[in-house]
Amino acid sequence: MSNTYDLPGHHPTAGPHDVSPGSTLGIMRMPPQSLEAEQAVLGTLMSSNGASARYLAEILESGITAGDYYRPAHALIHRAVCALHQRQEPVDPVTVAAELTRRGELTKVGGATYLHTCVQAVPTTANGPRYAEIVRAKAYRRAAIESAQKILQYAYSDQGDETDVRSLVEQELTAIAAGMPGLHAAPPAVGDLYLDFITELEEIQTGRQLGLTYGLEDLDAMTSGMRPGNVTVIAAQSGVGKSTLALNAAVAAAKTGARVMFASLEMSSAELMQKIAAAEGSIAMHHLTRQDGLTDEQWATVERLGRELFKTLPLRLYRPDGAALHDIESAARACVRSDGLDVLVVDYLQLVEVEQTRNITREQAVAAVSRGLKNLSVQLECHVIALSQLNDDGMMRESRAIKNDASVVLKVERPDMDEPESPRAGEVDVVIEKNRFGPRATITAAAQMHYSRIVDMAKT
């Protein structure tokens, strides 16, 4: 790309009658560009390690490409960064320099010293995505100028007729509009969606499972399972079993090959592993958590689970260092980049934090978390299970926003919680309070809490 553009019909000394049709008089103008923003983007990409790792993904997900940079050397650096990222290798000035050396391009970009110059040009890595927006916006303006030049040059020439001119104008305007940052293609027409609709309808009518299993047959039948882009809320009072139900669902889905991440702000990874081992090995929890609690047979069971289940189960357990929503989002995106993500479990909503502005209420904060998880389910095309705490009156805290964002709302109740001698001891009710895919209903299951599991009554 040249450094200046010749704009026909504009000349600093030309009067209104000095420019005739077809003239190529013009002034030399610097194309729209921001070398500072380009350096800041590259510097952020090469500084995004540790706590700042999410900024690298956010910048690349913004849609910026090597072709968006004005300076050719910056495009070479961007390609090197992308190559390292695709190979899941560290990205920093040293590794980028090595990659550029391998490509024979290090001298072309100004050497390793220039890479460090880019890093030093970053005011703050947190603004990396914004720097990328600036670079893309400048690239879009340059593309618009190029399209306008093509139209002007063709219109000034004697080539073609008015139909050819109109065709070129439509072609160029369509191309530049399609490349506009943030501009989306027109939504599909119903005629285009019909074949997919028929395929899904046939699956429903033939009884094939549409969504991923929750691990409870009756719940799957009522909801058609977990579907991408949707949110299931599991609500219960403390100690009733919402985490158990969610973890059981995560394991059940993972057993079918679904890629699952369980993010817990309450329990450590070790505690979650104990719960999975108890449920899958039918080992009482208190045997796993006390000294010399396991028999030789139970030890053998744990070892068998390691070989037959844990080694291959596509389930990731995540305990954030903090409790911020962006940490969970960043970990989920990392899963997508690694091997994909089908189900994300967040335990639980009221513990997740968002960046709060002054005077924001707790209800507004939880609503922001709920909306953020809903958006994430759509962006990543995964199903989200979000756990929510009920207050002592059995009402979901900050319930309005949470229910609005959910496709399915499940309330977990244990009849024997307050009545140990209840005739329904050992039972749990899963109340479907909202269901976009079927009726509201109450499903009764068996609460085998000593094994940390909730199972179908038929399996007891």
Q: pLDDT, tens digit, for every residue of 133-170?
A: 899 889 888 888 888 888 888 888 878 777 777 767 77
Does residue 437 carry a pLDDT above 80? yes
Give the separation between CA 106 and CA 39, rounded to whole angstroms: 16
Confidence of residue 25 (pLDDT cuts 50, 70, 90): very low
Look up the CATH superfamily of 217-459.
P-loop containing nucleotide triphosphate hydrolases (3.40.50.300)
What CA–CA distance (Å, rounded) separates 43 from 28? Answer: 31
Alpha-carbon distance of 269 to 265, in angstroms, equals 10
Fold of the domain built from segment(s) 31-182: DNAb Helicase; Chain A (1.10.860)
pLDDT value at position 209?
Answer: 60
Only one residue has tokens 């959910």, namely 406
- Asked if residue 113 has pLDDT above 90, the reply is yes
Give the pLDDT confidence score for residue 125 in this predicted structure. Answer: 84
Percent of the chain with pLDDT over 70: 85
Give the start-to-end residue ranges of the domains of the chain: 31-182, 217-459
How do strand 231-236 and strand 383-389 relate by DSSP bridges? Answer: parallel
Does the pLDDT value for residue 416 go beyond 90?
A: no
Query: How many CB atoms neighbour CB 77 within 10 A?
Result: 32
Domains 31-182 and 217-459 alike in fold: no
